[in-house]
Each structure stands twice: as C-alpha cells, then as structure tokens.
Amino acid sequence: MPAKTGNGSVRRNPFGARGRGGFTPYVGFAPGMGLFVLFLFLPAVAIFYFAMTDATGISGLPIHFIGLANFREFFHNSSNYQVIERTLVYAGVVTVVQNSVGLGIAVVLNGRIRYRTFIRTVVFAPVVLGVTVTGLVWELVLDPTAGPVASFLRVFGIHSAFFGSEAIAFWLVIAVQIWMGMGFSVAIFIAGLQTVPPDLLEAAATDGASAGQRFRRVTWPLLAPCVTTNVLIAVIGSVTSYQLVYVLTDGLNNTSVLSFAVFLAGFGQATGTGTVTQTFAEQGYAASVSVVQFVLTAVLAFVVLGYLRRREPTL
C-alpha cells in the first residue's frame, strides 16, 4: 500500500527515498527475493501443474496432462478420507496437548526450583535428538518382546504389539511427537514468561489476587504472542510432518497421515506383501495429494491465526 507523507500526498516508494536512490533498497533485497521465487515460489506453483499430470518422476517416461484425474482418484478412494481425518486428529491432539502441558512445565520451570537449568536441559533434549534417534529410542523402549515397557506390563498379564497394534499405534506416534516437540514449546513459553513485568505481578498480588488470578489476568494475556507462535508452529508442523510415522510404523496400522501419503506416492515406497510388491513413484498423484495437504494446512493456519490475532489486540 502506498505510504502517505506528512502533507497527505502519496509516496510510491515505501522506503522513503526519492529519485535515483530510491532503487537502492530494491537492489538490496532482490537477490533474496530472487532465490525465494526460484526455489520456493516457482516449485510451489509447479506442484499445481504436476498435480494434473501422470508424471512418475522417472526421466524419459512421457508425462501427460490428465486434468483433475489425480484428484478424482484421491477422493474416490474412501481410505483417503480416513487419512485426512487422521491428519486432523494428529494436528489437533499434538497442538493442544503439547502446548497445554508445555505451558504447565514452563510455568514450573520459570519459578524458583532446584536444578532448574538441568531440568530445562532435560526437557529440551528430545528436540535436538532428531527424528531417527527418537524413533530408535522409542522402538527399543516399546519393543514388544524385550522392551522395558513390555516387561513391566507382562507382570500384570498385559501384552501389546505397541507400534504393531492398529488399536494404539497411532496414539503412540502422537505421544512420541509430543515428547519430541514439547521442549520447543516449553522454551518459547519460558521466553514469554520472562517478559512478563514482575511489577505487574507484584501489583496484582498487592491487590489481593491469588496465584490463579495472577496467571489468568496478567500472565496469560501477556503470553498471547507466544501462544500464537506455538500453536501455529504445532499446527503446521504436525500437518506437514511425516518423518515420525515413517520411522516408527512406516504408515502401517492406520498411522498414515496426509504428508506420509505424499511421500509414499511421490517416492514409490514398496508396501503390502514384501515378497512380491514393487511400486514406482507416482509423482503427479503425489503432487495432487500435496495440493490437498496445502489447502488443509492453509485453512487451518488462517483460521487459527485469525482467531489468535484477534485475541491479541484485545489484551
């Protein structure tokens, strides 16, 4: 939007410079913008085109324009609706639990407790482990024959296949995702809590506010930007994340989510009976699934952002 000068006239250059020097800022950010367009914007646009082709990803094979056939194929398969539903559940549970528990931990760790720094480090550690290490750790912990959890449950006569069980595998993946991302949420909340002016809290205490009232009336409103950041990161991250599903279950036992479906279609993973099945990539179809995922992510992000942003100015 054109900026207005002090006398109300419209100034076309948002950087304020006039004449030949007015181009200088554009020259400054042109390389960055160029890289963005080249490596992010154009590929993103290309995805919409590829979504309407039968591209396989193997060079040399002909690529045909097939209109909306990939989308029809996706929505014709009833199991894909379960994948979408699972993706929404995954994003919802991860976002709510990770942030609510993370906030609680942050509040505790922001207080004066012993070994605070050490505990913060422990809480944050899973974030730096990475997906593969996290997957290996939890596979060992939940090994159905020799893992510690299985051994403990066996004492009570309980047996489980854990990641091999259709009944609980999905919830276990969610739990591991929360475990892995919790430290990040806690770190952001602690940073936010440390920006709350102590004098406001002291004033509230002087006025007789209880600890709960101080949190609800002072701390919580001032944490709004942190909540927005954390929630957005969790929503977008969980909708677009497939790595944990890949490492822990390979999408089996009803754990596949949209992003994993994109990966599966795009890179031709072998599925089903391993003795005979060999599949190749269907990158055109994968592109169409990623478009569905993009729309879902965008809708969720705009709704969440719209709500949280509206909440911030009212504080």
Partners of 53 in the beta sheet? 65
Contact flag: residue 252 with other proteins (CB under 8 A): yes
Of 101, 147, 124, the C-alpha closest to 116 is 124
Shortest reach from residue 237's CB to other proteins, in Å = 23
Report which of 45, 259, 224, 254 is spatially closest to residue 131, judged by C-alpha positions. Answer: 259
Q: Does 144 bind other proteins (CB under 8 A)?
A: yes
User: Residue 59, interface with other proteins (CB under 8 A)?
Assistant: yes
253 binds other proteins (CB under 8 A): yes
Q: Are 250 and 242 in contact (CB under 8 A)?
A: no
Q: Which two tokens stand for residue 148?
A: 């510690």
Q: Does residue number 57 form part of the binding site for other proteins (CB under 8 A)?
A: yes
Encoded one letter per residue, x for contact with other proteins by CB under 8 A and - for no contact, window 193-232 reads ----------------------------------------
Q: Decide whether 57 or 221 has the Cβ nearer to other proteins.
A: 57
> What kind and span of H or E run contains 192?
helix 169-193
Among positions 61-80, residues that touch other proteins (CB under 8 A) are 61-62, 73, 76-79
Q: Cα 209–214–220 angle (5° rounding)?
A: 155
Nearer to other proteins among residue 212 and residue 272 (C-beta):
272
Helix (H, G, I), strand (E, B) or coil at 294: helix
Site for other proteins in 278-297 (CB under 8 A): 278-281
CB atoms within 10 A of CB 10: 9
Question: Which residues of this protein are in contact with other proteins, per CB under 8 A?
Answer: 56-62, 73, 76-79, 139, 142-145, 150, 159-167, 250, 252-253, 267-281
